[in-house]
């Protein structure tokens, strides 16, 4: 009898040990942000109204109709006058980019942001265990990861990942790689480097579906330091709670809606198709279907089930009582994401993207403000745009301990990725690239001066006698 009691006790103790071990291992699998640095290029690379006019004038393939299209696109883009372009575009060499232009653009970003990140965090390059770099439209040999490792003399056993072709959603894909490494390896530091190379990809033709990219994409980048060390939890800014990836590459229309290609004359650029909004909507809906149970409270999910059941019963009754007609479509999500999330970091793919996601999630102007202001100040910086939105929230002192932040990004392929962070401490008085201008945002008006300076183009009727060159002089 005593032996049975001892055996039973030992079994219970062993089960308790296994449960404790399971929870203890989970503590070593967390993903914390310790620091991040946003890139701010030099003022010489700013794209003001006059500079844009000179760049457009240099493109000899454009005519009056293309000028009118560009004017409408820029005026409605939501982008201001202080965004940044690559040096070769500012210098007038966008029609004949070189490999060195792309390398130089990336190395300027690396030298500035990675050095600042290591200095502010106090972490040595030799302590970095994982390095993930994502730059979609530029691939060099040696790789960009190798260039960083060489410059900062990182360890020989560092795990390096160099991602290309992932589009504007690449930073969350990189984050997913780091999260999975953290699950299998304890006490690691990781650096995530996200940017885009515009130097070799500035379009110099007249295809409208490819000219549009020149109006939206701008230079930028971000470097993030992450860890799963429990001893650094007290220093962490945010903790990753969940991450969801949706890929519609198997659908032909989604796959082909945006891609890097050459036009009929062989000029390289980035194509944005008319079916892009439809592809983005489908990917967004599928992503939210997986994300919502992970981030919303049980009461909201129960409310959704009851409301959905009630709507289906009402639709059945209405179909029986009426012989024809169709029900009105509603673009808003039936779920209230504000019950589980305080802040929304939206991809700054353009004014229409922000408006569309805001309408779907029923967000107010205050919640859309960080994305709109980021688009106005920095433009669409591709995969790094989410972090500029986060930087705006931090500069405005909106992020408090316990708050939850949802990031949503879209990318070629077609992909929609999202993740939710928990803020670990009040984030305030930490310098970032918004400091010099944060008091000026939001401005009274987001209208840019392009219509005021170039609106006369809409009054021109005779394309044969029209010259932009004379006006710019």
How far apart, in whole angstroms, are the C-alpha atoms of residue 368 and residue 391? 14
Which residues of 273-348 form beta strands (DSSP E)? 343-346
Closest among 436, 437, 348, 356 to 390, alpha carbons compared: 348
Number of H helices, E strands in the chain: 16, 11
H-run or E-run covering 305: helix 298-321
Q: How many CB atoms are closer than 10 A to CB 179?
A: 20
- With a CB cutoff of 8 Å and minimum separation 6, the contacts of 448 are 49, 74, 75, 79, 80, 81
Residue 331: DSSP 8-state:
-
Q: Show the tokens assigned to 167.
A: 């589009």
- With a CB cutoff of 8 Å and minimum separation 6, the contacts of 257 are 272, 273, 275, 276, 278, 279, 414
CA atoms within 13 A on the CB side of 199: 22
Q: What is the total residue count of the chain?
A: 473
Active-site residue numbers? 168, 247, 343, 347, 376, 380
H-run or E-run covering 358: helix 351-360
């Amino acid at each position: 009898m005593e032996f049975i009691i001892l055996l039973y006790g030992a079994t219970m103790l062993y089960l308790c040990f296994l449960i404790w071990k399971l929870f203890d291992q989970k503590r070593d699998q967390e993903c914390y942000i310790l620091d991040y640095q946003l890139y701010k290029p030099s003022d010489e690379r700013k794209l003001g109204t006059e500079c844009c006019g000179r760049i457009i004038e240099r493109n000899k393939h454009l005519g009056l109709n293309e000028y009118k299209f560009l004017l409408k696109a820029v005026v409605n883009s939501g982008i201001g006058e202080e965004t940044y372009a690559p040096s070769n575009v500012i210098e007038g060499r966008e029609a004949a980019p070189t490999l060195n232009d792309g390398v130089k653009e990336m190395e300027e970003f690396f030298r500035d942001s990675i050095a600042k990140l290591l200095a502010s965090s106090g972490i040595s390059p030799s302590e970095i265990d994982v390095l993930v770099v994502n730059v979609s439209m530029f691939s060099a040999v040696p790789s960009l990861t190798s260039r960083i490792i060489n410059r900062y003399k990182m360890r020989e056993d560092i795990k390096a990942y160099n991602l290309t072709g992932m589009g504007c959603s690449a930073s969350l894909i990189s984050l997913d790689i780091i999260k999975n490494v953290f699950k299998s390896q304890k006490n690691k530091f990781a650096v995530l480097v996200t940017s885009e190379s515009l130097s070799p990809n500035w379009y110099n033709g007249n295809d409208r579906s490819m000219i549009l990219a020149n109006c939206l994409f701008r230079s930028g980048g971000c470097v993030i330091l992450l860890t799963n060390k429990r001893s650094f939890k007290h220093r962490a800014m945010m903790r990753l709670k969940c991450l969801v990836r949706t890929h519609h590459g198997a659908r032909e229309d989604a796959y082909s809606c945006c891609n890097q290609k050459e036009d009929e004359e062989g000029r390289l650029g980035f194509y944005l198709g008319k079916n892009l909004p439809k592809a983005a909507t489908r990917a967004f809906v599928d992503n939210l279907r997986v994300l919502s149970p992970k981030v919303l409270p049980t009461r909201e999910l129960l409310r959704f089930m009851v409301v959905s059941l009630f709507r289906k019963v009402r639709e059945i009754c209405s179909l029986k009582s009426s012989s024809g007609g169709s029900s009105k479509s509603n673009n808003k999500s039936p779920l209230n994401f504000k019950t589980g999330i305080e802040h929304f970091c939206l991809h700054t793919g353009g004014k229409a993207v922000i408006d569309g996601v805001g309408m779907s999630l029923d967000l107010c102007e205050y919640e859309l403000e960080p994305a709109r202001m980021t688009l106005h100040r920095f433009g669409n910086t591709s995969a790094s745009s989410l972090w500029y939105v986060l930087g705006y929230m931090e500069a405005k002192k909106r992020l408090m301990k316990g708050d939850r932040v949802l990031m949503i990004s879209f990318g070629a392929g077609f992909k929609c990725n999202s993740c939710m962070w928990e803020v670990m401490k009040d984030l305030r008085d930490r310098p970032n690239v918004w400091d010099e201008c944060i008091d000026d945002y939001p401005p009274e008006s987001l209208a840019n001066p392009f219509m005021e300076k170039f609106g006369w183009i809409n009054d021109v009727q005779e394309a044969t006698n029209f010259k932009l060159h004379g006006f710019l002089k």
